[in-house]
Amino acid sequence: AQSVAQPEDQVNVAEGNPLTVKCTYSVSGNPYLFWYVQYPNRGLQFLLKYITGDNLVKGSYGFEAEFNKSQTSFHLKKPSALVSDSALYFCAVRDRPDSNYQLIWGAGTKLIIKP
Amino acid sequence: DVKVTQSSRYLVKRTGEKVFLECVQDMDHENMFWYRQDPGLGLRLIYFSYDVKMKEKGDIPEGYSVSREKKERFSLILESASTNQTSMYLCASSETGTGRVEQYFGPGTRLTVT
C-alpha cells in the first residue's frame, strides 16, 4: 500500500542553523513527492515537488528537498532557518498513477525556530 | 496565481443542522477535493471530484455528501451535523496533466458543532 511517514512530530532549530524535516515513503512505481507548509489558521501552501530529473529540488522561501530513491526519502532542508519558518510541514505522495491525482499525506511535522 | 476560496473561515452550528461548505476555484482545474484536518491525523480525504457532476468517496465519506454542478464550485454538505464533525475543513483543486498535479488549497473553514 502507498504510504508516507514523517517520523518527527516536532523539530526545534535555532535561528540561523540548518534545518531538516524528514519524510519517507512507500509507493509502487515512480513517486511524485510534495512538500507543503501551513501557517497557523491557514490553508496549505505548496512548497516544492519532485516528479523526475534532478534529485535536488528547489522551492519557495529558500527550501529544497532531496529525493533519495535507495532510502525512499524526500527530506526538506534549508541552509539557514528563520523564525518565520515556524509552521506545520506536510509531506505528500501521489497515490497510484491511475488515481485521479489523489495525494497521500503525512501526519505533519511542527517546525519551531527559536531566536 | 491560483485562487481557491471558501465561503466561511469560521462557522458554528448546532447538532442536527444541515451545513453547507462552499469552495470556488478560478483556474479551471478539473479536480477538486475536500479534506478534514485534525491534530495528529494530518489530512484525510472526504470526497473528490474529477469532473462536473462526478464524485468519488475518499477515506472518510460517512456523514458527508458533495455536489459539483459547475466546474469551478465544489460543495461539501453535512446532512445532520454532529459534534464529531467539529474540525478544520480544507478545499483544494488541481489540474489533470503529467507533472502538474500539485493541489492548491483554500484558507480553510473551522467548523464547530455544539
User: CB-based burial of residue B28 (10 Å sphere; 0-12 exposed, 13-18 middle, 19+ buried)?
Assistant: exposed
- Residue to substitute from A48, A50, A100, interface B, most B β-carbons within 10 A: A100
Residues from chain B contacting residue A99 (CB–CB below 8 Å) = none
Q: Give residue-wise pLDDT tens across range A69-102.
A: 999 999 999 999 999 999 999 999 986 666 656 7
- Spell out the domain ranges in chain B: 14-97
Beta bridge partners of A104: A93
Give the minimum alpha-carbon distance from B43 to chain A in angstroms, rounded to a whole number: 6
Grid cell digits, residue A25 = 515513503
Question: What is the Rg, in whole angstroms, of the alpha carbon atoms belonging to chain B?
Answer: 13
User: Residue A80 belongs to a domain with what CATH number?
Assistant: 2.60.40.10
Q: Which domain holds residue A46?
A: 3-114
Hey, are the CB atoms on B106 and A107 less than 8 Å from each other?
no
Hey, are the CB atoms on B108 and A102 less than 8 Å from each other?
no
DSSP string, A23-78: -EEE-SSS--EEEEEE-TTS-EEEEEEE-SS-SEEE-GGG-EEEEETTTTEEEEEE
At the topology level, CATH places domain B14-97 in Immunoglobulin-like (2.60.40)
**CA-wise closest residue to B96 among B27, B4, B30:** B30
Q: State the CB neighbour count (10 A cutoff) for residue A16.
A: 12
pLDDT at A95: 67
Q: Give residue-wise pLDDT tens across range B51-84.
A: 999 999 999 999 999 999 999 999 999 999 999 9
Residues from chain B contacting residue A32 (CB–CB below 8 Å) = 101
Kindly report which listed range (A3-17, A82-96, B1-15, B90-104) carries the lowest average pLDDT score. Answer: B90-104
Give the total number of structural domains in chain A.
Answer: 1
Region B35-50: mean pLDDT is 92
The model's confidence at residue B101, banded by pLDDT at 50, 70 and 90, is confident
